[in-house]
Amino acid sequence: MKRFLIFAFAAITLHSCNQHENNGEFQVTGEIKNAPDQTVYLDQFFFNKKDPEVVDSAQMKNGKFKLKSVSTEEGMYRIRPEKQQHGYILINDAPKINFYADAEDPSLEGPEFESPANQSLKKFLLQLNQIGTTLHGIDKQIDSLRSVPGNDSLSVELTRQAKEKQNSFESFAYHYADSTRDPVLAMFVIGYLQNTEPAKLTEIIGKLAKKFPNHQGVAAMALQYNQFLNEQKRREEMAAKIPGVGSMAPDFTLPDPEGKPVSLSSFRGKYVLVDFWASWCGPCRRENPNVVAAYNKYKHKNFTVFGVSLDENRESWKKAIMQDGLTWEHVSDLKGWSSAVVGLYGFDGIPYNILVDPEGKIIGTTLREADLDKKLAEVLK
């Protein structure tokens, strides 16, 4: 089961307020059986895009080693022997932690960290692994049935089982995060609630903030999540305002290559493909032959193209129009991505187009390659 973070823990190192003795120093005394002498590293994990950092290293002799670091709060770490493909995750919830493992046993059951938070972490990871294995097995069965006709009902049943198992895991993880006494473990578990509805996730994060009111990591996490929700709401509100199929195309007026103003509304009574492009846009230039072919095929059926460029250089714009044989009307304010039409139509990439009917209503968007001809054939009968 792939781990998925619902939101970015920007600049949060997943620390708690449980202070240790010795000015925050903690030590891990480890023993790994059947392991050759080698260097062992202690990595600190971060719950953002920051890579793990090595905070200590030691030489393992006869399977034994000691690692230490300083942290006034809990964090998440990994013991990483340089000659092993797998490491061991731990939480530094105590000043002194004993660790035992067997290099020949890569399973989750083997390693033991003698501290409460790490015992709980192991329990969660074992449950996670069990559910992940079950879901992987169901997915393999579903994939094998896709090539065999007549097994639709079995595929539906297996899909239902997978969904039920996923829901069961989410309930387990939700309860785990809600009931654990360790804030680091709670935030770690929350990272796996990838399909949880925002309302439920908001509830559990709110509970966590009340449960650990002096916990800087939880407070920062709650703040980041609220910012995420606010940004998501803002984007949804903006998307709702973006004109789409069924809405009237907002009118605009821009100058043509000679400086003469041309308005979209001047094409009323015709089907118009409003084509947003630029001379510097490779995909636009590669799509232009397709637009030319559509224009030549349908221009006698009350159809035209209206080119709107995001160029900034007039000569480059005019040269591209000539080179690509774009014989329809063109306009541009030569402001690039600062052009008013970008915000008016809400696109964030080009080529982009809208198909407008004779009344000025949008009846298609992002019509490229074969989709453009298919749509035009449908409406220009």
The larger pLDDT score, comparing residue 341 to residue 12, is at 341
Q: Which of 16-20, 206-210, 263-267 is predicted with the least confidence, judged by mean pLDDT?
A: 16-20
pLDDT grade, residue 18 (50/70/90)? very low
Whether residue 297 is predicted with pLDDT greater than 50 in this model: the reply is: yes
pLDDT digits (tens, 9 = 90+) for 203-227: 888 888 898 888 777 787 888 888 8
pTM above 0.75, yes or no: no
Query: What is the CATH T-level fold of the domain 22-114, as seen in this structure?
Result: Immunoglobulin-like (2.60.40)
CB neighbour list of residue 61: distance below 8 Å, 6 or more residues apart: 37
Residue % of the chain over a pLDDT of 70: 90
Four-CA torsion 97, 98, 103, 105, nearest 10 degrees: -90
Report the pLDDT value the prediction gives residue 232, as an integer from 0 to 100.
Answer: 81
Beta carbons of 8 and 48 less than 8 angstroms apart: yes
**Domain segments of the chain: what residues?**
22-114, 118-240, 253-379
Query: What is the CATH T-level fold of the domain 253-379, as seen in this structure?
Result: Glutaredoxin (3.40.30)
Helix axes 282-298, 370-379, angle to 10 degrees: 30
Report the pLDDT value the prediction gives residue 23, as an integer from 0 to 100.
Answer: 62
Q: How many CA atoms lie within 13 A of 164 on its CB side?
A: 7
pLDDT digits (tens, 9 = 90+) for 331-348: 999 999 999 999 899 888
Residues 195-201, mean pLDDT to the nearest whole number: 80
Whether residue 248 is predicted with pLDDT greater than 50 in this model: the reply is: yes
Whether residue 233 is predicted with pLDDT greater than 70 in this model: the reply is: yes
C-beta neighbour count of 191 within 10 angstroms = 17
